[in-house]
Structure formats: structure tokens, C-alpha cells
Amino acid sequence: MKTLLLALCLFIPPCFAKLPPLLANRYEGGIDVSQYLVSEKLDGVRGRWTGQRLLTKTGNPIQAPHWFTEALPPTALDGELWIRRGAFSEVAAVVLDREPDDAAWRQVHYMLFDMPDAQGRFVERLAAMTSLVKATAKPWLQVIPQRQLASEDALMAWLEQVVAGGGEGLMLHRMDALYQHGRSDDLLKLKKADDMEGTVVAILPGQGKYQGMMGSLLLELDNGQRFRLGTGFTDAQRAQPPPVGARVTFSHHGFTKNGKPRFARFLRVRPDGA
């Protein structure tokens, strides 16, 4: 019976939608980089195709135009809905709009990075994705380019190049890894600064030149830790700060001995439904 249920989950979209996607751990070094394929970490909105519907990472429906989804196969895909480097807010506004703007969607690319239902190791799933994209022949459907690097020095050199060009970072996917749902060391993310999310629990008033504006946000992390986030905001954002309850993404450089993010800096508000 368990085998039958597992088989059904692989082919029934609602079941797939309830399973957590493959999630990356942070790159800590100490691995054989040559055993991984490396790609640029795209700053877009994750799109999970169930075979029938396009969903966000959290399982909310994405209202894409019919022409965008009609050519997609009746099997699961995972990727990033992306416009270009540095355009997260722009792509989020397009993708999360409940009434799709056809002209705006023409800018969006579905950049594939995995094919959950395909059999075999990641290199074999990558080959299946490449064949699918070639057969589909739609310019907005692409596979994120992957490369094999010989050493950590080569990895860090490419990271510097990507970041200098306005990119976010790199992703490392172990070549022989089978697909699994949830967080795994088979998938690693590498950035010059880490980022994470917290929930706004209070808006703290500013002083001096920020009198009458927001001074900082009191954030609560998923582990219950609270801290003040006060850097990285524009004056416009301070005048109209994220509301209580909003999810905020910020960069940081590790943690203090008390478990608070070190050198935290505001990046963006996570759009509802993303």
C-alpha cells in the first residue's frame, strides 16, 4: 500500500504540491567541488510545475498566461521565474499578480534547475531537462547553465565574477544525487553574504534625521530570536516601512554568541504568496 501511495504521489499534482521542494544548505567548504555541478543562483521567484499547475515555493498558485504553460509537459518541473539580474521586485510583481499581464509575462523566463519525477542522478535529470527544452523549443523555457569546476579556488573565482556582474551567488548540486524533498547537503548555496528571513513584530521610531520615520524593525526569526534591523533602508522605505506581520529578507555575516545575525542589512520584503 505504501508503494502504491508513493507511486500515486509522483503522478497526482495535488500530492506533489504538498511535498516540500528540494532546499539548499549553506556551503561551508571542505568538499570535493569537482563532484558538483555549479550554476548561478538566480534572484527570481521559484516556480514549481506540477504537471498541471504552476505554484510558488510555498504552494500558492501562479496565474501565468495560457501560452506560458500550455507547452509545459505533464510531469513535474522545478525552476526560477526570472527576468534578469537585480530585477527581483520586477519579476515578483509580474509573477504574483492575480490577473496576469500578458505583455509583462513576455519578459519572464522559466529557468529550470531540476525535474523531480525524472529517474536517476542529477546529471541524468539534467540531460532529461535539456532534451525537454530542446523539444519544446520555446525561448522562455531554458535550463540554467551548469558547469563543473576543478577546485574551490575556481569556485571562489567564479563567485567573485558573478557578484561583480550583479549576480547573487552560486548553487552547487551533487552530480550523483537522487532527487529528494526537503533540505539536503546535495544542494548547496554560496553567497558572499548569507541571507535569511524574519517576521516584523514592531516598527521602532527613528531619531535625529529619521525623526518621524522608522528607525528600525524588530524582527522575530523562525527560531524565536528577536533583534533590531536598522540598516539598508532607503528614506522612502523608512517613511513607509513594512507592516507588522510582513516577512523581511536581510543579509548577514554569521551570528553573534547570543545567536543574533551579525551585520544584518535589509534586502527586501517578501511578496505575499511567494
So which residues are the catalytic ones? 41
**Residue 64 · residue 105 · CB < 8 Å:** yes
Angle at 54 between CA 52 and CA 56, to 5 degrees: 145
Residue type, 166: G
- The pairing of beta strand 109-114 with beta strand 147-148: unpaired
Neighbours of 171 (CB within 10 A): 22
- The pairing of beta strand 141-143 with beta strand 109-114: parallel
**Residue 37 · residue 148 · CB < 8 Å:** yes
Handedness of CA 53, 58, 64, 67 (dihedral sign): negative
Residue type, 175: M
